[in-house]
Amino acid sequence: MSKVLIVEDEKDIRDVLAFNLRGSGHEIRAAASAAEALRMARTDLPDVVVLDVMLPDASGFDVCRQLKRDPKTARIPIVMLTARAEEVDRIVGFELGADDYVVKPFSMRELLLRLAAVVRRGAAEPPEGPLGSGRLRIDTAAHRAFVGERELGLTAMEFRLLVMLVRNQDRVLTRGRLLEEVWGMRPDVSTRTVDTHVKRLREKLGSPEGDAIETVRGVGYRWAKAGARRELSA
């Protein structure tokens, strides 16, 4: 059983979601606004948030951004709901740290399966001790990363991407595999999500640590132990 925070301003939809999720054994909290959602997420610490994009006092994207920037709530999975199916909206949500994206209208079975997947994925994050490469230290249990004594302010997705790269040092990871394992998206989805996150991750790591992420042109990325990034042809 998971504790689910439903953030939806339309009462009928909120009630239907709550009814079905309770029927599946989940514990439910519900919010009708962005302000209420942020307060409840920070005090109740749900296992997953079902977040509507269109809210009366702020965008669901803003709520997602604030939750992912707060160390207290950064690890809570977020499934965004929207009536808009444009790819750009999905990309924005993923780049802000959302874990999945469901377009209205949707089947309740689909939503339940997606919720179970993001909760399971979060619970399956590696319990091993700290990872490292040079001055980089990654504490997977605490969900924190450091370069020397400087802590990196990473979003949940940036942290997952970094762990994936460092754990597979000197192995080329395709964009498709990264999409599938970090974001839970189909590997054939055509987005710039991976490239955008790599760019931001390099910037946050700084030099020379950010240079360890090598671009393998036409394929994907790899973390080089030597720490010198090169542009490789494939």
* Range scoring the smallest mean pLDDT among 36-40, 137-141, 166-170, 216-220: 137-141
Amino acid, single-letter form, for residue 198: V
Could you give the dihedral angle defined by the CA atoms of residues 117, 218, 192 and 7, in that order, rounded to the nearest 10 degrees?
0
Q: By percentage, how much of the chain surpasses pLDDT 90?
A: 41
What's the pLDDT tens digit per position in 203-230?
999 988 999 999 998 899 999 975 444 4
pLDDT at 182: 82
Hey, what domains does the chain have and what are their CATH numbers? 3-123 (3.40.50.2300), 131-232 (1.10.10.10)
d(CA 230, CA 212): 9
Q: Give yes or no for a contact between 194 and 204, defined as CB atoms under 8 angstroms apart.
A: no
| Sign of torsion over alpha carbons 85, 89, 94, 97 | negative
3 state DSSP class of 51: strand
Evaluate if pTM is beyond 0.85.
no
Range 35-58 average pLDDT = 93
What's the pLDDT tens digit per position in 116-134?
888 776 655 544 556 888 8
Task: For residue 18, give the H/E element and its range.
Answer: helix 11-23
Q: 164 vs 24, 34, 106, 173, 233, CA distance in Å?
A: 32, 32, 31, 9, 22
Question: Prior bond to 208 cis, omega within 30?
Answer: yes
Q: Partners of 79 in the beta sheet?
A: 50, 100
pLDDT at 228: 43
Number of residues assigned to the chain: 234
Q: Give yes or no for a contact between 201 and 221, defined as CB atoms under 8 angstroms apart.
A: no
205: CB partners within 8 A, 6+ apart: 136, 147, 152, 212, 213
